[in-house]
A = this chain, B = another copy of it.
Amino acid sequence: MVKDTGKRNQLFTGLPEPTLRRMPEYLHFLQRAWERGVIDISAPYIGRELNLDPTQVVKDFAITGVKGKPKVGYNTYELIQNIEEYIGFNRTNEAILAGAGNLGSAILSYAQFQGFGIKIIAAFDADPSKTGLIKGNVNIFAIERIHELLHRLKVQIGIITTPAAAAQETADTMTACGIKAIWNFAPVTLKVPDDVIVQNTSMYANVAVLLKKHQLLQEQFRIVENV
């Protein structure tokens, strides 16, 4: 068994999360550059465009194992390949989704169209009026059928877009069905076995940062105006 230190993060030492979060940004930028015919691209250039320290860009790229040439930079295509490989965007990662409300429906359509590494192959909802519907090419099933369907599908990724009150129960069902990674949009802390990871995406957290920074920046400028 993996020792449970209570510190889940210790399993991921050497995995700098900020770097990981920047990877898709690099990817998008590099793909646009590649489309414009940019063969070689340097870290200082990318840094200027993305508002990042050039050393940080170099370090981030080093993690993927790509090699650059002094004075020239990196091969754009090779860089794209390496980043996609590193974060797993080039594999087909199948997922299921629970809670086909507003947010859930959006994720369904969004994931299918944008295709960011995951493919949602089934959705579930507790509301009987939603079962049988199809959203973003995905069938919505009754939540009771999750066990039966997952037994056949062998999916490891689950997305929770249920109301907060239903999130923990949904997570329990998912882990009981073999889900090993949960993308949780509900504003609750989920309790899961230690061979399961949870990635929280909270709209609330982002609104909080947005509002507070806005408030502070406005104060700053008001002070300056009154001097």
Contacts and interface: CB of A to CB of B under 8 A. Distances in A.
Interface of A: 1-2, 11-12, 15, 17, 20-25, 27-29, 49-51, 86-89, 93, 102-103, 105-107, 109-110, 113-114, 116-118, 136, 156-157, 164, 180-181, 183, 187-189, 195-197, 199, 201-218, 220-221, 224
User: For A23, A114, A164, A208, which residue has the most chain B Cβ atoms within 10 angstroms?
Assistant: A208
27 contacts: A2-B224, A15-B213, A17-B209, A20-B205, A20-B212, A21-B205, A24-B187, A25-B202, A25-B204, A86-B212, A88-B208, A88-B212, A89-B211, A103-B110, A106-B107, A110-B203, A114-B203, A116-B204, A117-B211, A181-B217, A183-B207, A195-B221, A197-B214, A197-B217, A199-B206, A199-B209, A199-B210
A139 to B, nearest CB: 18
Contacts of A12: 213, 216-217
A197 B210 contact: yes
Contact of A217 (B11, B93, B203, B213): B11
Contacts of A211: 87-89, 93, 117-118, 181
